Amino acid sequence: MTLKGKVAVVTGGNTGIGKAVVLELAKQGADVVIDYIVGEEAELDLESQLRALGDKVVGVKADVSNVGDLTTLVGTAVSRFGRLDIMVNNAGIETRTSVLDTTEEQYNKVLDINLKSAFFGTQLAAKQMIAQGGGGRIINMTSVHEDWPMPGNTAYCLSKGGMRMLTRTAGVELAPHNILVVGVGPGAVNTPINSATVADPKLLTKLDAAIPIGRLAQPEEIASLVAFLAGDGASYIAATTIFADGGIMQSSPGL
């Protein structure tokens, strides 16, 4: 229970990597606030899993691309649990559309949910952490694609590239307050975002073959890194991204 007494907000906390993060932080003793615009049912399911762990979780109906709703999320951490120690800007979507076929609506949605929410999540969390004193941790869920093109997923790559720079710049600005901003960069993970690939045996074989470890990650393998970064053992990591990608970025067919 290395996070006992800590309070966390996890955006996109009711599905995929976010859900695993919520469960891991709660297992480590943290109290957690999540948003649940994606599906109230998923959130209720998560809430019962968390209750079984004997911990406290609060679900707030919030659209993380709206700064007012993000303010409510952070405010709920403070009103229910008294403080905020860990902000996980995790919510993310992708459209799998290229530079030629991405619409304005798709572009805005991806950038708002992925990047705008991380920016204002960082700002609001940092203000609260500075007001309460003692520092904190802000963890941005980026991707190998923060710095590695994924053709046919352009807006997503743009948003993750923005999160890379947010992590570095806010990380430098906030480190003097002992607020450590760190990115987590997963490769391919077995979550709903990859369900089309996982459902197609040919695509899945191709993807697995590109990963030196030979398989997709399970969400829990990313959540354990987030819990580490939220804890005392990660007291000297700031303004950078830690990758958990099974080696995918270094792999080469050797041709």
> Where do contacts with ligand BGC occur on this chain (CB under 6 A)?
94, 143-145, 150, 187-188, 193-194
Determine the Cα–Cα distance for residues 239 and 171; give it in Å rounded to an integer. Answer: 4
Query: DSSP secondary structure string, 118-173?
Result: HHHHHHHHHHHHHHH-S-EEEEEE--GGGSS--TT-HHHHHHHHHHHHHHHHHHHH
* Shorter beta-carbon distance to ligand BGC: residue 90 or 143: 143
What's the min distance (Å) between Cβ of 144 and ligand BGC? 6
- CA proximity to 111, closest of 148, 169, 74, 157: 157
Residue nearest to ligand BGC (CB): 143
Determine the Cα–Cα distance for residues 145 and 149; give it in Å rounded to an integer. Answer: 6
What's the min distance (Å) between Cβ of 73 and ligand BGC? 23
* Shorter beta-carbon distance to ligand BGC: residue 60 or 144: 144
What's the min distance (Å) between Cβ of 145 and ligand BGC? 5
* Shorter beta-carbon distance to ligand BGC: residue 135 or 152: 152
What's the min distance (Å) between Cβ of 41 and ligand BGC? 23
Active site residue 156: yes
* Shorter beta-carbon distance to ligand BGC: residue 76 or 114: 114
Which listed residue (36, 107, 156, 236) is catalytic?
156
Hey, which residues are catalytic here? 156
